[in-house]
Amino acid sequence: MKKTEVAPSEGKLGIMVVGCGAVATTFMTGVLMARKGLAKPVGSMTQYDKIRVGRGAEKQYLHYKDIVPLADLNDIVFGTWDVYPQNAYQAAVYAEVLKAKDIEPVRDELEAIRPMKAAFDKNYAKRLDGDNVKTCATRWEMAEELREDIRRFKKEQDCSRIVVIWAASTEIYVPYDEKVHKTLEQLETAMKADDREHIAPSMCYAYAALTEGCPFIMGAPNTTVDIPAMWELAEKTRMPISGKDFKTGQTLVKSGFAPIIKTRCLGLDGWFSTNILGNRDGLVLDEPANFHTKEVSKLSTLETICKADDQPDLYGDIYHKVRINYYPPRNDNKEAGTTSTSSDGWAIRCR
């Protein structure tokens, strides 16, 4: 087996999550419960999946941690930023993804995870009105304050390394602009000039993370790290970027079905899907400018697999409709309103 050049995963790993909502608190609670042996990390590829290594008599199936150095769950420390000041326990209860039996055993640890002030601009998520927000004169200052947060967290928690994950609301769609997003120099100039139209708060988080030597993962469909300027920064700092969107709910179904349809050369007439969201994610996505970001990302999943150019007879004219239904949470009707993760409905029509 080829020897890995990845540095050993020694010391504590700080996972700083942007947004302390449904996804973030479910992730945190899962890790905390699993490491106490109170839950199984079902759904976690790093904990369960195996990869085949070697051939013939040498063939063996190994967990990821046996191939590359990976942090142990016991070495993880969580930090977070959010527009709302509720700690991770309060946020997990509000999210209603997990039941009390899943949350209470790690209540103390969750209560200790308190959001730092968010780098936020209401124009990017109009429906949110929390006040746990930084006051920054420019986008550059926003990034500088985030860098300071990362340094302080790393020191206070005695972490040897940090990774930053965006699990915050989907921002409005920011299209690629050649004059701002092409080079790192352009991006930095625009941040200093406080170009709020082209520099989303998420770009400040990504910029801060990469500059501080932290990998950045984009869990929303935002275009944050889809721009050459960010790739340049990632190359310069030799930090990985990944994303976008977590591809967990409806998108996962699409990613699974599309290859089946393609492999069997079935034609596709249409794909119709609905996400039913009752949490802040749904509230934010109820705004057309924010929904557009999700829509663009979801459309691309199907169309990169079933390509019209390759097979015009089969995929030449797919009717594709994605809807997100938001049901405001109502305490009197749990079923209709308060589901926090997406509950997906979908239909396909084959030729």
Ligand X SMILES: NC(=O)c1ccc[n+]([C@@H]2O[C@H](COP(=O)([O-])OP(=O)(O)OC[C@H]3O[C@@H](n4cnc5c(N)ncnc54)[C@H](O)[C@@H]3O)[C@@H](O)[C@H]2O)c1
Give the interface with ligand X as residue ranges (CB under 6 A).
18-24, 81-84, 95, 118-120, 125, 128, 130, 167-170, 201, 219-220, 245-246, 248-249, 279-281, 341-342
Q: Which is nearer to ligand X, 120 or 207 (CB)?
A: 120
Q: Which is nearer to ligand X, 62 or 299 (CB)?
A: 299
Residue 110 near residue 25 (C-beta atoms within 8 A): yes
Q: Tell me the CA distances in angstroms from 271 to 107, 264, 308, 341, 342, one per residue in order.
A: 42, 17, 14, 21, 18
Shortest Å, Cβ 119 to ligand X: 6
Q: Which is nearer to ligand X, 20 or 234 (CB)?
A: 20
CA gap 301, 315 in Å, rounded: 14
CA gap 90, 79 in Å, rounded: 15
Residue of this chain nearest to ligand X (CB atom)? 21
Shortest Å, Cβ 25 to ligand X: 8
Shortest Å, Cβ 103 to ligand X: 15
Residue 163 near residue 15 (C-beta atoms within 8 A): yes
Strand partners, 217: 165, 242
Q: What angle do CA 143, 146, 147 make, to 5 degrees?
A: 85
Structure tokens belonging to residue 69: 């150095």
Q: Which is nearer to ligand X, 177 or 286 (CB)?
A: 286
Q: In what order do the strands lie in the sheet with 319-326?
A: 319-326, 268-277, 343-350
Nearest in space to 340 (alpha carbons), one of 117, 26, 72, 101: 26
Nearest in space to 78 (alpha carbons), one of 147, 152, 14: 14
Q: Which is nearer to ligand X, 128 or 187 (CB)?
A: 128
Shortest Å, Cβ 33 to ligand X: 18
Residue with token string 């970001």: 293
Shortest Å, Cβ 264 to ligand X: 28
Q: Which is nearer to ligand X, 33 or 167 (CB)?
A: 167
Shortest Å, Cβ 8 to ligand X: 31
Residue 222 near residue 293 (C-beta atoms within 8 A): yes
Q: Which is nearer to ligand X, 106 or 136 (CB)?
A: 136
Shortest Å, Cβ 56 to ligand X: 40
Q: Tell me the CA distances in angstroms from 116 to 85, 110, 153, 166, 201, one per residue in order.
A: 8, 14, 10, 14, 15
- Determine the distance from the C-alpha atom of residue 260 to the mean position of all C-alpha atoms in its chain, rounded to a whole number: 26
CA terminus-to-terminus distance, the chain: 47
Q: Which is nearer to ligand X, 106 or 243 (CB)?
A: 243
Shortest Å, Cβ 257 to ligand X: 17
